[in-house]
Structure 1
Amino acid sequence: MQTIRALPLLLLTAACKPPPDEAQHMPQASAARGIAAIERSGCGACHVIPGIGWPQGRSGPSLEGFADQGLIAGRLPNRPDLLSAYVRDAPATLPGTTMPAMPISEQEARDIAAFLYASGDR
């Protein structure tokens, strides 16, 4: 009988969105500033990026659903510290990558990473 009473509650909680992944939590980073930095830096020239209508480059991978990907550039664990470093200076973080170093600050790189992790929530 208790199982039957608990079933509606279980169904309601199963339909809720899971809590944010703590592994991708980025204190003092701003997804709003991140999208602004993405637009300023021209990341859309190479990537399809959620929330950016144009340009939608195709030479780099789409960044849609980035938070759910296990690897950065197919080779690095998808962690905030590595993503921030990669976004800012990909060749130093992953030698041989085709992504160039970007003229952005460490804070802008963190903000871009925060945006990429949050963009799946849209």
Structure 2
Amino acid sequence: MGHNPASPVIRVVIASLMASGLGACGQSKAAGPDNFDGDAHRGAKLIAHYQCGSCHEIPGIAGADGNVGPPLRRVGTRTYIAGFIQNSPDNMAYWIEDPQRMLPGNAMPGMGIPQNDARDIAAFLYTLN
């Protein structure tokens, strides 16, 4: 009783994920917005509109000095979004649009941000390198 036959498999998967993640630490490969169709100027305005700065510190956005979520300075150079999702402009837009779909149970709430606004916000975030 109490023995879970899947637990050794789960331990191996977790160890593998941790090892691959640790191997990427220190790398600062920019994801870059190549061929990305978001409007960074509009994205800056949308960040203020959706009040993203109430949780995040965001350079270039007046009053965006929240400390609930991580600071977003140089977010485009990070390897992962939320520590698990490969950083790319498309993934960033998906994350902004519906963070709970991307990583269920994470701390970022869904804000009801439509896809086109999420793409513009992501485009702005990639200017913060």
Match of 1:16 in 2: none
Match of 1:10 in 2: none
Q: Does 1:107 align with 2:116?
A: yes
2:69 to 53, 60, 67: 60
Considering only aligned residues, what root-mean-square deviation do their CA atoms show, in Å? 1.5
State how 1:25-64 maps to structure 2 within 5 Å.
25-64=34-73
Does the Cα contact within 8 Å between 1:66 and 1:116 map onto a contact in 2?
A: yes
Q: Which amino acid aligns with 1:35?
A: A
Does the Cα contact within 8 Å between 1:26 and 1:114 map onto a contact in 2?
A: no
* Residue 27 of structure 1: how far off its partner (Å): 3.3
Give 4+ residue runs of structure 1 displaced > 4 Å after superposition: none
Residues 75 and 82 from structure 1, CA distance in 2 versus in 1: closer, same or farther, beyond 3 angstroms? same
* Residue 55 of structure 1: how far off its partner (Å): 3.7
The secondary structure found in structure 2 opposite 1:103 is coil
Aligned-residue identity in percent: 39
* Residue 116 of structure 1: how far off its partner (Å): 0.5
Does the Cα contact within 8 Å between 2:31 and 2:87 map onto a contact in 1?
A: no
Which is helix-richer, 1 or 2?
A: 1
Measure, in 1, the Cα distance between the counterparts of 2:32 and 2:41: 20
Does the Cα contact within 8 Å between 1:37 and 1:112 map onto a contact in 2?
A: yes
The secondary structure found in structure 2 opposite 1:118 is coil
The TM-score, its normalising length taken from structure 2, stands at: 0.72
Does the Cα contact within 8 Å between 2:39 and 2:120 map onto a contact in 1?
A: yes
Query: Across the two proteins, how many residue pairs are aligned to each other?
Result: 100
**CA deviations over 1:84-108 (Å, ceiling 9, x no partner):** 1111110111112110112221011
Does the Cα contact within 8 Å between 1:41 and 1:103 map onto a contact in 2?
A: no
The TM-score, its normalising length taken from structure 1, stands at: 0.76
The secondary structure found in structure 2 opposite 1:107 is helix
